[in-house]
Amino acid sequence: MSRVAVIGIGWYGFRPVVEDASFRELMFEAAARAYEDAGGLNPRTDVDAFVSCQEDLWEGIAIADEFAPEPIGGALKPVFTTSGDGLQCVANAYMMIKTGQFDVVVAESHAKPSDIINMHDVMLFAMDPLTVRTINTPNYHALAALEAQAYMSRYNVSRETLAHVVVKDKRNALYNDRASFGANLTIDEVLSLPYSVSPLTKLDIAPFVDASVVVVLASEDVARRHTDTPVWIDGIHWITEDPSLEFHNWEFPVHAMRAAEAAYKMAGIQDPIKELHFAEVDSRYSFKELQFIEALKLAPIGEAHKLLLEGAFDRDGLFPVNPSGGALGEGVPLEVHGLARLVDAVLQLRSEAGRMQLSRAERAIVHSWRGLPTTTSVVAVLSR
Amino acid sequence: MSRNIHIKQRPAVIGAGLTLFRRRMLETPKELAWIAAKQALDEAGLSLKDIDCIVIGSAPDTFDGVHMKGEYLADGAGGVGKPTMRVYVGGATGVMVPIAAWWHVASGHCNTVLAVAEEKMSNADTPHPQAVFRYIWDPVTEVPLQPNLIWIFAMEMHRYMYKCGARKEDIALVSVKNKRNALDHPAAQIAANITVDDVLKSEVLVWPVQLLDISPVSDGAAAFVVASEDIARRQTDTPVWIDGVGWALDTTSWTNRDLAFPEYANVAAQMAYRMADITNPRKEIDVAEVYDPFDYKELHHMEGLELAKKCEAPKLTKEGVTQRDGDLPVNPSGGLLGVGNPIAAAGTMKVAEIYWQLAGKAGRRQVKKPVYTGLAHAWGDLMQASTVVIMRV
């Protein structure tokens, strides 16, 4: 069975506001870069299918799929939309190539949250219309804050530890060309801010950015023809835990754990901390990074905060987590988020990460969560 | 694209389910999804714990009024603690669902997939759910013109009639046939025994589109189970294999297209035919469910799918070839014009119908001639998308 490789990546934006390009121009810029990165691919002749990850209400267009084909070179070719995180597009592309029917599949995602003037209302629309939306929470981050409270009290995690996550990620982001939110902060500076929603301050919540990412995937023999530095997808899986907020586990993201278990099994990984070299995980909220570290089995459950304080997850630590700065440093480009994590990992694995390059990067895990109020995670294991 | 010779597991449909298609259903979208899913599981002889993966299909989030509708529908579709994937190509979503289910199984990633499509249109907007379609246009160049969806189909219908010399009377025959076929469908919303005259006398919406030329606003859900070969053989004596899949998305600029011939449908069909090794579709396809939100669309799509030569479909319809007892039965279920059109669920209903026809389980709707190869097709977005599956016993 042919393996599946990432042979090209392209990105554009990653700024709080991209004024110079519409969402379609964002897609085009990222696509052009990805095809060039894949060794000068011609999308009209060399690509078998295209997958676009987007959600209607983010786009403000009732059938946003209509606008997918042209900017990525897919008109009159097999193009479709997955309403999910960018990594779910990669999962689809992975399966399509695995069938043997497709050789080259392109995954795309774009986001322009700066165009959304009523983000809060959009978020309310993501909640169950009968049970949760009617609560009409004045700040949707409250749902995350409740999870944070549950997690912190269950595992005895202090507010200072969350500040440590913020300081680490923002400092890492200083080495990342794409990151708009790099900063050299102290713990006290984070702690001195007022709560947005207790126990989270403004700095604990990742801001939105406009961005677009295009990823080219190919089967093994085609990949070898196009590039000398393919990055293999050894395992990928996604899990939805339970869409009813009432019933999902508030203390611990079971979805990420189940997805990671399946991805590890596919990749034949027994002991992730020994067999992998770094992780890019979702950190839309500072405490989420700790939760996901545990869910991905990079720390025993409830222990991530202790290891964090020992520096285990620093850039030069035992097991670097979010060396790119993650969502806290780079921002959250809506459904692009998973692909942003993938791009950061691929650059590391190719040794093309520039100033943020880690000394040891041969095998990595990337993870994305779809954000509030979902319980969906995608996990992929990548190797050089 | 390489020829498919190494599919790891050959996927088969082994059960299907359907809710009633009605306007203003009282069930929530989640409940509709589960009613259809449960039926499909029961027919397949499986329970939710036997299902590895879930594929969800649903068209605009604005219909159900929920952002991230795939997440919202996940538990109704059986996706609690399971890998759940929502695919979306506007109106063509209903047949994208089996395509995605196909690669979930054919890749070896999952052994069993529960595929569910749901749409609840009736409470989308006032005075009419059509209002949602105000937001499908290019926000810069088209939205300011405040276009209505039926306008562009009126243009397309006009163009088709002009190019092919088709008369309103010829096209109305499709509506008559489908609504009559639907009389035998237990889920049908607008089955009726009408005449061509009734169609021609119905209210004009946008000339030449009249009320009986068009499918209704519906709520409903449809589902089916796809399994790998070993499981399929264990569960049933009549697995229906998915042997070809194809889809295509044309340019967003619908104004620049040849409106008389659906090129995108042709490209999608070619892809599916190549995979299923079909060289003469008119001869090799025994029964077809062709997307028919408007009566002219059935004709239009038959030509795109090469089930008729260009401009030949009205003639075939007139000769009775597409009737249930004809040589090429088209829409024996009653289609969208008869059964109803809950967007994504309507496409998936077509897949279910082909499954039931090929498995010999269509009851009073069973076509007269023996059938071995069937085709289901859906169409959507800005008149630009088509999805096709070829199924075989």
Task: Quote the minimal CA–CA distance from B253 to chain A in Å.
Answer: 9
Closest by Cα among A81, A23, A323, A293 to B61: A81
DSSP code of residue B56: E
- pLDDT tens per residue, range B95-118: 999 999 999 999 999 999 999 999
Task: Quote the minimal CA–CA distance from B304 to chain A in Å.
Answer: 13
Residues B1, B221: Cα–Cα separation, whole Å: 34
Query: Given CB atoms, is B277 within the 8 Å cutoff of chain A?
Result: no
> Which residues 140-179 in chain B show a CB within 8 A of chain A?
none
> Which among B84, B103, B250 is the nearest to A240, CB-wise?
B84
Backbone angles phi, psi at B248, to 5 degrees: -155, 150
Question: Residue A63: its chain B contacts at CB < 8 A?
Answer: 59-60, 90, 136, 380-382
> Which among A66, A78, A244 is the nearest to B75, CB-wise?
A244
Q: Which of A312-321, B5-14, B70-79, B204-213 has the lowest mean pLDDT?
A: B5-14
* Token pair 């089916």 in the structure block, residue: B224
- Residue pairs spanning A and B at CB distance below 8 A: 205
> Which among B2, B108, B384 is the nearest to A103, CB-wise?
B2
Structure tokens at B337: 């014009």
Give pLDDT, residue B130.
85
- Residue spans of chain A under pLDDT 50: none
Closest by Cα among A107, A103, A100, A101 to A79: A107
Cα nearest neighbour of B64 on chain A? A129
pLDDT-based confidence at residue B7 (cuts at 50, 70, 90) = low
> Which residues 45-84 in chain B show a CB within 8 A of chain A?
54, 59-62, 65-75, 79-84
Question: Residue A244: its chain B contacts at CB < 8 A?
Answer: 75
Cβ contact, residue pair A374, B104, below 8 Å: no
Cβ contact, residue pair A76, B135, below 8 Å: no
Residues B379, B153: Cα–Cα separation, whole Å: 13
- Region B59-74: what's the mean pLDDT? 93
Cβ contact, residue pair B89, A65, below 8 Å: yes
Task: Quote the minimal CA–CA distance from A4 to chain B in Å.
Answer: 12
Q: Can you name the CATH fold of A4-117+208-226?
A: Peroxisomal Thiolase; Chain A, domain 1 (3.40.47)
Cβ contact, residue pair A129, B246, below 8 Å: no
Interface test with A, best of B88, B95, B96, B229 (most A CBs within 10 A): B88
How far lies B252's CA from each of B92, B219, B256, B304, B359, in Å? 15, 28, 9, 19, 38
- With a pLDDT cut of 70, the percent of chain A lying above it is 100
Interface test with B, best of A240, A246, A334, A375 (most B CBs within 10 A): A240
Task: Quote the minimal CA–CA distance from A94 to chain B in Å.
Answer: 9
Q: How would you class B140 by CB atoms within 10 Å of its CB: exposed for 0-12, middle for 13-18, buried for 19 or more?
A: exposed
Structure tokens at A297: 């089995």
Q: In angstroms, how far is the first alpha carbon of chain B from the final one?
A: 26
Give the CA count within 13 Å in the CB-facing half-sphere of A306: 7
- With a pLDDT cut of 90, the percent of chain B lying above it is 89
Query: Given CB atoms, is B8 within the 8 Å cutoff of chain A?
Result: yes
Give pLDDT, residue B378.
97
Cβ contact, residue pair A122, B83, below 8 Å: no
Task: Quote the minimal CA–CA distance from A337 to chain B in Å.
Answer: 16
Give the CA count within 13 Å in the CB-facing half-sphere of B296: 26
Helix, strand, coil % in chain B, rounded to nearest 5: 40, 20, 40
Strand partners, B220: B119
- B329 cis-preceded (ω within 30 degrees of 0): no
Residues B108, B360: Cα–Cα separation, whole Å: 28
Closest by Cα among A227, A238, A230, A296 to A89: A238
- pLDDT tens per residue, range A334-375: 999 999 999 999 999 999 999 999 999 999 999 999 998 999
Q: Which residues contact A181 (CB under 8 A, 6 or more apart)?
A: A170, A173, A207, A325, A328, A329, A330, A331
Structure tokens at A236: 């990928």
CATH classification code of B12-125+215-392: 3.40.47.10
Give pLDDT, residue B1.
39
Exposure b/e, A348-366, CB count within 10 A at least 16 = b = bbbeebeebebeebebbbb
* Token pair 């169609």 in the structure block, residue: B199
Q: At what angle do helices B295-304 and B168-181 cross, to 10 degrees?
A: 100
Q: Which residues contact A15 (CB under 8 A, 6 or more apart)?
A: A180, A209, A210, A211
What is the ipTM metric for this complex?
0.95
- Region B281-293: what's the mean pLDDT? 97
Q: Is B358 left (phi over 0), alpha (psi -120 to 50) or beta?
A: alpha
Give pLDDT, residue B129.
87
Cα nearest neighbour of B248 on chain A? A78
- Region B140-153: what's the mean pLDDT? 90
